[in-house]
Structure 1
Amino acid sequence: MPARPAYRQPLLLLLVLLGGATGTLARWATGLAVPHVDRVPLGTLAVNVVGAFVLGALLEHLAGRGPDEGRRRALRVTLGTGFCGGFTTYSALANDTDALLRQGLVGHALGYVGSTLVLGLVASALGIATVRRGARGRTA
């Protein structure tokens, strides 16, 4: 009998819920702690970049020879789908960009979006590289 899909497994749904709630609270706290600079919401930028790093590191870790399949799936849904999904926020990026554009701050909006994309890509690559370097260190 084939395994039930993840969305029909109560334990995995609970793990997504717990990870998502934790990520959302962490995003909210970061938004309170990190001020806007020149009307640019650096908190949103920070969570998206940190989330990209964490997701890159997590997926690289799970792709290697690591935990068994059940544990990999639990980590992926808890930290990837749940925490990173709740922590990072495309909707806030879009909303913040719209707000900047409505204020006539086109340069700010373009810089904000461009910085988010470039820094997110770099952060993800650094997350992957960090896990690979750690794996090489353990096998050497």
Structure 2
Amino acid sequence: MTSTYDVYVGVGAAAGSLTRYHVGRWISQISNSDFPWGTWFINVVGSCVLGLVFKDFWWHQHDTMWWLLLGTGFCGGFTTFSTMSYETMHLMRTNRWMATAYLASSLGLGCVLIWAILWV
């Protein structure tokens, strides 16, 4: 049974990672800024998607495999805490205010949006 779980998480993570790569690349091409809009957008949207998936699972009975595929797999592969951390440290060298705004808005807005999705 565990190997089946691994497949669902792996397929979801692969789909999320590929989506993150293409969305991030597209946003980087249209954005001409030192601010890492691609990662910011991905993490904020990923927080919303995770909130929506969680809320649906909260109210409806679903097979655990769907959570592994969508919540753990796709959202885990789509969002990227490590890239956000790297980009924050890179910005700290050049523009501390931008680094602070990036980190605070990524985490803050993500949390506020999840709260709004779950409670409003």
Give matches, 1:1-140, under 5 Å.
9-35=2-28, 36-67=31-62, 71=63, 73-103=64-94, 105-128=95-118
Q: How far does the alpha carbon of each residue in 1:63-113 deviate from its partner, in whole angstroms, 9 at most, with x for none?
A: 12333xxx1x1111111110000000000000000110122x000000000
CA RMSD of aligned residues (A): 1.6
Structure 1: which 5+ runs fail to align?
1-7, 131-140
Q: Deviations over 1:5-46 (max 9, x none)?
A: xxx611111010000000000110111111255311111011
Dislocated runs of 4+, deviation >2 Å: 35-38, 125-130
Tell me, yes or no, if the aligned pair for 1:53 and 1:126 is still in contact at 8 Å: no
Which structure has the larger Rg over C-alpha atoms? 1
The Cα of 1:129 is off from its aligned counterpart by 5.1
How far apart are the structure 2 equivalents of 1:50 and 1:96?
A: 18
Whether the aligned pair in 2 keeps the contact of 1:52 and 1:120 (CA below 8 Å) is yes
More helix by share: 2
Matched residue count:
118
User: In 1, Cα distance between the equivalents of 2:6 and 2:82?
Assistant: 23
